């Protein structure tokens, strides 16, 4: 539960509607359809009709139209011209987003939104990527932190024997492993505790 990040499909929406009308809690609905309770709550909040309640087919259309609509930069022409002008002046998306926030304008956006705007397929012919510091035509992979599963059968450092803590016995080691984001190298340090 909570591990799926793809869009809800119509079958899931139909099942959610059936369970919701039966009075099932959001947490229980999420458990049954294999989604988190927050996903269920967000779906019900965003795609419910003003007067008609939650209808799966309508919710599916609402979600599809939301995904197809233009970004805020494309919809607001003053914001679009501000972003394009600053890009042409050599500003980075981080600088543009920071300046908008600092000026307190009502159109604050994140630098990630600006990057997505620049690399949208329908805007490729404008070649806004030329104004970026590296001027790449395609965007590289995004690195997201993922939760690592714990080491199976591991023992906490707090559960080590008292003799090791007081350094009364020889031959015990302590180690630490660092993995770097690029995965090209790792660093392992090992220390014999009787030498400290």
Contact predicate 113/72, CB 8 Å: yes
In whole angstroms, give the CA distance from residue 133 to residue 87: 10
The pLDDT value recorded for residue 2 is 42
12-57 pLDDT tens trace: 889 998 998 899 999 999 999 989 889 898 888 888 888 878 888 8
Q: Which residues contact 181 (CB under 8 A, 6 or more apart)?
A: 143
Long-range contacts of the stretch 87-90 (C-beta < 8 A, 24+)? 87/118, 87/128, 87/131, 87/132, 88/131, 90/131
The pLDDT value recorded for residue 3 is 46
38-48 pLDDT tens trace: 989 888 888 88
71-89 pLDDT tens trace: 777 777 788 888 888 888 8
Of 155, 88, 153, the closest CA to residue 126 belongs to 88
User: What average pLDDT does the structure give for the chain?
Assistant: 80
The overall pTM is greater than 0.85: no
């Amino acid at each position: 539960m909570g591990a799926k990040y793809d869009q809800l499909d119509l079958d899931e929406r139909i099942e959610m509607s059936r369970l919701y009308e039966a009075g099932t809690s959001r947490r229980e609905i999420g458990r049954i359809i294999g989604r988190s309770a927050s996903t269920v709550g967000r779906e019900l909040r965003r795609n419910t009709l003003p007067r008609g309640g939650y209808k799966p087919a309508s919710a599916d259309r609402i979600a599809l139209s939301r995904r197809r609509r233009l970004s805020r930069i494309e919809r607001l022409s003053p914001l679009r011209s501000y972003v394009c002008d600053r890009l042409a002046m050599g500003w980075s998306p981080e600088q543009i987003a920071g300046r908008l926030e600092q000026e307190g304008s009502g159109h604050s956006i994140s630098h990630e939104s600006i990057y997505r705007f620049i690399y949208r397929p329908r805007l490729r012919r404008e070649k806004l990527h030329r104004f970026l510091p590296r001027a790449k035509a395609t965007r590289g992979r995004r690195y997201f932190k993922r939760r690592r599963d714990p080491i199976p059968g591991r023992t906490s450092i707090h559960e080590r024997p008292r003799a090791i803590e007081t350094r009364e016995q020889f031959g015990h080691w302590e180690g630490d492993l660092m993995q770097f984001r690029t995965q090209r190298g790792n660093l392992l340090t090992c220390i014999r505790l009787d030498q400290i």
